[in-house]
Amino acid sequence: GFVNTRKMFEVAMKEGFAVPAYNFNNMEQLQAIVSACLESQSPVILQVSKGAREYADQTLLQYMGKGAVEMMRRMAKEKGLGEIPIALHLDHGDSYELCVSCIESGFSSVMIDGSHLSYEENVALTKKVVEYAHKYDVTVEGELGVLAGVEDEVSAEHHVYTDPDQVEDFVKKTGVDSLAIAIGTSHGAYKFKPGQKPEIRLDILKEIERRIPGFPIVLHGSSSVPQDAVETINKYGGQLKDSIGIPEEQLRAAARSAVCKINIDSDGRLVMTAKIREIFATKPAEFDPRKYLGPARDALKKMYMEKNEKVLGSAGKA
Ligand code: G3H
Ligand code: 13P
Ligand code: NA
Ligand code: ZN
């Protein structure tokens, strides 16, 4: 059913996997995520960015999130499967007001991203959101450290890795339920420069775990940038150059640790774009959106199921 992230993370911590947090902006993405997670019997966090909420319209989106839970229930019955836990989460909330608005419209979890503020300001803002959210049993994710690359309108040139010396104090002072950290992942499809070794700092993760044992850690920017999707895009007229993601093996290692939530958005964008480009190029007479969005949805679903099974370890853990 519809839940916050508390119990999900407890189970993930105990059983050594990570809950997938997949972003969506439209109906086809939402259907692909929910049907994939139901069929692989994985818990799932449906993730909405500020931009997604504006794109889809905040009112429509709140009903889409709830509709997704109803759809899951009906499909579970039809297929003789068990229901899965689903959370609706605000990704990268940038203000107290936005978090409150999402909580009022029925989100079960929010992120307040104060990572670009000073440490003291981040603590104060995060604490304020936690105090409000917990009154409604909504869970809160905070962030320490800065990911390189673009996050909504904010962009950073370099990673500022999370300082393990700060995490215990931050978690204690704010009361957050989970903590996003910066260990070399980044948003988008260009995570490493060509020639650079694609490697995240699992050593820093280990040190953070040592400081806050048993506390749920979140990894943002964790797309792997599937090269077959990049090649298909480029074969059919796209121009993606030097697109590099996080190697799946490193995400698997992270999922076995205290990392309880792994955020993936770009991989879905790539797979969807690849399929649509392929159909536009190979079936130029098609003009019914169902004829390209439908196959794109199928390709997305397949990718999410593979992620759950092979990367996050969340399949069968619902
Ligand atoms: O944090 C980035 C997520 O991929 C959401 O991206 O702000 O373009 O919707 P967006
Ligand atoms: P990717 O761009 O690597 O998919 O990261 C998504 C993310 O962190 C959403 O918050
Ligand atoms: Na884990
Ligand atoms: Zn993110």
Span 17-52, pLDDT tens digits: 999 999 999 999 999 999 999 999 999 999 999 999
pLDDT of residue 283: 98
With a 6 Å cutoff on the Cβ, whether 224 touches ligand 2 is no
With a 6 Å cutoff on the Cβ, whether 92 touches ligand 1 is yes
Span 82-127, pLDDT tens digits: 999 999 999 999 999 999 999 999 999 999 999 999 999 999 999 9
The percent of residues in the chain predicted with pLDDT above 70, rounded, is 97
- Distant-in-sequence, close-in-space partners of 242: CB < 8 Å, separation ≥ 6: 190, 193, 194
With a 6 Å cutoff on the Cβ, whether 186 touches ligand 2 is no
Q: Which of 79, 118, 44 is nearest to 307 (CA)?
A: 44
Q: What is the Cα–Cα distance from 272 to 214, expressed in whole angstroms?
A: 36
ipTM given for this complex: 0.99
pLDDT of residue 151: 57
Concerning whether 177 is annotated as a catalytic residue, the answer is no
Report, as an integer, the average pLDDT of 156-170. 92
Whole-structure pTM value = 0.97
The minimum-distance atom of ligand 1 relative to the CA of 188 is 4
Q: Which of 57, 91, 94, 203 is labelled catalytic?
A: 91
**Could you write out the DSSP letters of every residue in 112-173?**
E--TTS-HHHHHHHHHHHHHHHHHTT-EEEEEESB-SEEETTEEESS-B---HHHHHHHHHH
Domains, the chain, in order of start with CATH, read 6-309 (3.20.20.70)
Q: How far is the CA of 154 from the centre of ligand 1 (A)?
A: 11
The minimum-distance atom of ligand 1 relative to the CA of 55 is 9
With a 6 Å cutoff on the Cβ, whether 187 touches ligand 1 is yes
Atom 4, ligand 1: residue with shortest CA distance: 265
Q: What is the Cα–Cα distance from 252 to 309, expressed in whole angstroms?
A: 10
Substitution site in 147, 152, 267 for ligand 1 pocket (most atoms within 8 Å of beta carbon): 152
Substitution site in 111, 147, 265, 304 for ligand 2 pocket (most atoms within 8 Å of beta carbon): 265
Report, as an integer, the average pLDDT of 190-215. 96
Q: How far is the CA of 97 from the centre of ligand 2 (A)?
A: 23
Query: How does residue 60 score in pLDDT terms, banded at 50, 70 and 90?
Result: very high
